[in-house]
Amino acid sequence: MNLRLELGIELEVTEEEREAISSLEKALQAAADFEELPPVEVAVTIVDNEKIHQLNREYRGIDRPTDVLSFPLWEPDEEWVIDEEEEGVMLGDIVISLPKAKEQAAEYGHTLARELGFLAVHGFLHLLGYDHETEQEEKEMFSRQEEILSRIGLQR
């Protein structure tokens, strides 16, 4: 296990939602394995639309809720230093809107677990420096996401 997940849930969730959220660690571990990373730490926070809207406005200047935000704690060109006393390299924070994830799961006709897995892996890849600003970048990032998710049975 080369991933340590710190999970925070900032809203009330049903048992079904909690079960779907519990699949996040498996998805993120699959992403860390796929990327062949040293031990890493990631913080994931599940929030409502109001909170993610506030963060999106504050940090990206976009005045609307979104599905996932990533806040990397290192630059892609930085060398990774693993502190022996820590659990691994702290990559950063991922914030996911549970209401948006539920809405998108219904819209795309798949499970909430699949949508949360997709958003977590998407955010994780952003922490690693992947982006989708160009068509080529988008193709690379999205094919990585689908490969990771298919390895744990969360394909569309």
Task: State the amino acid at position 41 in one-letter form.
Answer: E
Cα separation, 24 vs 154, whole angstroms? 11
Where do the H-state alpha helices sit in the chain?
15-21, 24-34, 49-60, 98-108, 112-127, 135-151
Does residue 99 contact residue 48 with C-beta atoms inside 8 Å? yes
Whether 110 has a binding-site annotation, put simply, is no
Whether 53 has a binding-site annotation, put simply, is no
Cα separation, 51 vs 40, whole angstroms? 26
* Residues tagged in the binding site annotation: 122, 126, 132
* Residues tagged in the binding site annotation for Zn(2+): 122, 126, 132
